[in-house]
Structure 1
Amino acid sequence: MDVSRRNFLKLSGLSIAALAAGLGFDPAVAEAKGYVLKLEGSKKIPSICHFCSGGCGMLLYVKDGKLIHLEGDPDHPTNEGTLCPKAASLLSVANSPDRVIRPRRRAPGANHWEDISWEEALDIVAKKTKEVRDASWKAADEIVNAKTGLPESFLVNRAEGIAFLGSAEVDNEESYLISKFSRLIGTPYNEHQARI
């Protein structure tokens, strides 16, 4: 039997159409059932996107402690169910094998990173913060008085060697805590897109 390419495509199309008509195949129904099966047994958690200060609402679906799906929250007044490309990519960010989930340290002079415990990481940060704060502490500042031409001393009490640099991914509550911590350790350098 000699079948041309055109006749092969016609027969294939007719076969698929007959199969779909005979079995009642509806792509929309199949897609909806696949969606339901994917999310079955998962816990739906409303959340906020952390990429910018827009505060878009998201619905996270978690199964067995792992994020399996996310989508925009249609009931959220900011984004009404839509997500920008950065927010839509959060699923791959959460499940990336390259994501760092434990503290790591690269010792001075070393050529590799090593995993350390949270206690050890906090201890290192606390010691270094104290060391830099003590080395850069300024109790008073001398300014020459423009009228008299004499130097005057003003109490400033600040650590000039420490600064905090926030980002759009830091939410309001974290910004408040960073601001309070900056004041506590005495640094005036707290830069953020939403300074408190």
Structure 2
Amino acid sequence: MARLTFLDWPVLRQLRGADPTGRGTAVTSATTRGMIPRTATADGVADSVCPYCAVGCGQRVFHKDGKVIQIEGNPDSPVSRGRLCPKGAASQQLANSYLRQTTVRYRRPFATEWEDLELETAMDMIADRFIASRRKYWEDEDEHGRPLKRTMGIASLGGATIDNEENYLIKKFFTAAGAIQVENQARI
């Protein structure tokens, strides 16, 4: 690194240069002038939606070498018009946190330790329990013989960041399964 001389002091650069007000090149160092935004080196960008609340702000997710390097508001989003709240702006930390769980974790009844499961195994366990609960708590008719065709053993609480089509499919699925307790975080 080159050694600074007396003439390199910012005040002197400002007074003898083309920036007497000190609002441009006079106040920037060589290091600052050499910096480029990290989005310029990204391999690509993907449009996404913020995962935190029901607003659904648009995000632009910049990635490089399979890792998220920057998340910004999407100016093309009619919801947020390129703006993100502090939580949404920090969502890169959610994607890159060393604390983030990337495997299915399961703790057996009365166990004290968690274990990793294969995704297929976990999905089979959920499906088996869903079907068993539906069978166990199925109500075909009430005490007066009126048809009910419902189960009180299954409920759904959906997240607010899924889109209308996903919510529609979830509602159709749970209704077809006989569940009547279908809720969503956005409504609660």
The two structures have a TM-score, normalised by structure 1, of 0.76
Give the number of equivalent residue pairs: 175
Partner of 2:156: 164
How far 1:38 sits from its partner (Å)?
A: 5.4
Matches within 5 A, 1:21-36: 27=28, 34-36=35-37
Question: Cα RMSD over matched residues?
Answer: 3.0
**Preserved contact between residue 57 and residue 76 of structure 1 (Cα < 8 Å):** yes
CA distance in structure 2 between the partners assigned to 1:120 and 1:13 by the alignment: 70
Aligned residue identity for 2:9: I
User: What amino acid is aligned across from residue 172 of structure 1 in structure 2?
Assistant: N
Q: Report the counterpart of residue 9 of structure 2 in structure 1.
A: 16
Identity %: 37
Q: Which residue pairs with 1:78 in the alignment?
A: 79
Distance 1:32 1:62 in 2: 24
Matched position secondary structure for 2:174: helix
Match of 1:98 in 2: 99
> Residues 36, 155 of structure 1: CA spacing in aligned structure 2 closer, same or farther, 3 A cutoff?
same
Report how far residue 55 of structure 1 moved: 2.4
Match of 1:3 in 2: none
Distance 1:76 1:139, change over 3 A: same
* Higher Cα Rg, which structure: 1
The answer to whether the 8 Å contact 1:39/1:61 transfers is no
Q: Displacement, 1:90?
A: 0.8
- Tell me how far 1:77 sits from its aligned partner: 2.5
| Structure 2 residues without counterparts, runs of 5 or longer | 18-24
Write the deviation string for residues 93-151 of structure 1: whole angstroms up to 9, x where unpaired. Answer: 01111111111110111111100101110111111111111111100013xxxxxxxxx
SS at 2:146 equivalent = strand
Q: C-alpha distance in 2, partners of 1:50/1:67? A: 15
Pick one of 165, 174, 187 that aligns with 1:173: 165
Look up the match of 1:190.
Answer: 182
